[in-house]
């Protein structure tokens, strides 16, 4: 009898969530989709692919709304888990669109300004200085650390999920999604291709910064995700303009702060990985130092602004992040 009463008590702490309400994450993603769609229409003359982009955004928005409604009305534990697994795919699809809008809105890149800022701070180009200390074992370690960026939030999310800390998991997903989408919008301010294309010869990167066993393959993986057109005379013409700010730095540090806030078991491992990743962004020639500094500065902005937006959306009853009873 006491077990039944305990279960009823636990269920009572969660409010009923009407089926028409979204999670805050849904609102963030839908807002980004709307912004992209408006840009595709405005810049249609400069973006030949605009019909495909608009169609993709319609599918994304419809999918988010449809899955949200189905989960609110018919959802269960398994359905809720699967829905969360869709988030990385949505974030990736939104990232892959940035290049089209940034290049349509800007007639040039801003690498010269970023190079000048680095030079003003250090009196030299930091990647030139770092080259003097580059050795294959270190390159291998840092290239692996750079790629593992994609798994930092996922690893923390898996730990929270396994421990059934669903409120913390909801908060982590909400803040990380906000951070990703914010970085995508900020790429519009100062698009840049990075020092591997401007200060160095991209074609000789593997020879200049050799690793041991995995570096070349991991570098190719990163380049393919960055839309680098391999084998062309000018691969910089197609690469994503996603240097400023450093999203790798921003997301990893935000995730690390959340890990210590939640006291997850892997927080010290994440701390080491995040430190290596920040170093790798410049060492591997993906970012200028000012990109990294901008990413670090934006960490405070995320933790200041996101809770305000979340509370405002909740107050006007546009979204509801309360956990359903079946959790």
For residues 318 and 22, is the Cβ–Cβ distance under 8 A?
yes
d(CA 157, CA 40): 33
Reduced to 3 states (helix: H, G, I; strand: E, B; else coil), residue 133 is: coil
d(CA 61, CA 183): 20
For residues 111 and 103, is the Cβ–Cβ distance under 8 A?
no
Which residues, at least 6 apart from 97, have a Cβ–Cβ distance to it below 8 Å?
Answer: 36, 53, 56, 57
- Token pair, residue 168, equals 């913390």
> Given this model, what pLDDT does residue 71 score?
79
Question: Mean pLDDT of successive 10-residue segments in the chain (327 residues)?
Answer: 49 48 90 96 94 94 86 76 85 93 94 97 95 95 94 95 94 96 96 96 93 95 87 86 95 98 97 97 97 97 97 90 77
Where are the domains positioned within the chain? 19-105, 110-318
Q: How far is CA 316 from CA 26, 302, 310, in A?
A: 15, 21, 10
- pTM for this predicted structure: 0.91
d(CA 34, CA 43): 14
DSSP 152-209: HHHHHHHHHHHTT-HHHHHHHHHHHHHHHHHHHHHTTTS----HHHHTS-GGGHHHHS
């Amino acid at each position: 009898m006491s077990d039944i009463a305990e279960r009823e008590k636990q269920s009572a702490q969660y409010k009923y969530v009407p089926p028409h309400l979204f999670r805050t994450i849904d609102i963030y993603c839908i807002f980004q989709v709307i912004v992209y769609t408006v840009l595709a229409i405005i810049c249609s003359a400069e973006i030949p692919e605009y019909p495909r982009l608009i169609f993709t955004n319609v599918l994304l928005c419809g999918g988010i709304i449809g899955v949200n409604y189905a989960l609110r009305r018919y959802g269960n534990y398994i359905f809720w888990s699967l829905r969360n697994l869709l988030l990385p795919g949505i974030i990736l699809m939104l990232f892959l669109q940035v290049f089209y809008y940034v290049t349509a809105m800007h007639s040039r890149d801003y690498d010269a300004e970023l190079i000048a800022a680095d030079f003003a701070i250090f009196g030299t180009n930091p990647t030139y200085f770092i080259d003097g200390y580059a050795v294959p074992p270190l390159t291998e370690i840092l290239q692996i650390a750079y790629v593992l960026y994609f798994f930092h939030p996922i690893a923390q999310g898996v730990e929270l999920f396994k421990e059934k800390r669903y409120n913390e998991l909801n908060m982590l997903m909400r803040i990380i999604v906000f951070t990703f989408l914010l970085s995508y919008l900020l790429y519009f301010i100062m698009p840049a291709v990075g020092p591997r294309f401007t200060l160095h010869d991209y074609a000789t990167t593997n020879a200049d910064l050799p690793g041991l066993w995995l570096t070349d393959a991991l570098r190719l993986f990163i380049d393919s995700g960055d839309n680098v057109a391999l084998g062309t005379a000018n691969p910089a013409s197609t690469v994503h303009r996603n240097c400023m700010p450093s999203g790798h730095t921003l997301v990893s540090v935000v995730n690390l702060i959340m890990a210590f806030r939640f006291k997850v078991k892997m927080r010290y491992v994440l701390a080491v990985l995040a430190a290596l990743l920040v170093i790798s962004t410049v060492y591997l020639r993906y970012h200028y130092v000012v990109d990294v500094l901008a990413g670090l500065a934006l960490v405070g902005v995320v933790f200041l602004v996101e809770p305000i937006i979340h509370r405002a959306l909740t107050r006007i009853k546009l979204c509801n992040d309360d956990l359903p009873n079946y959790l």
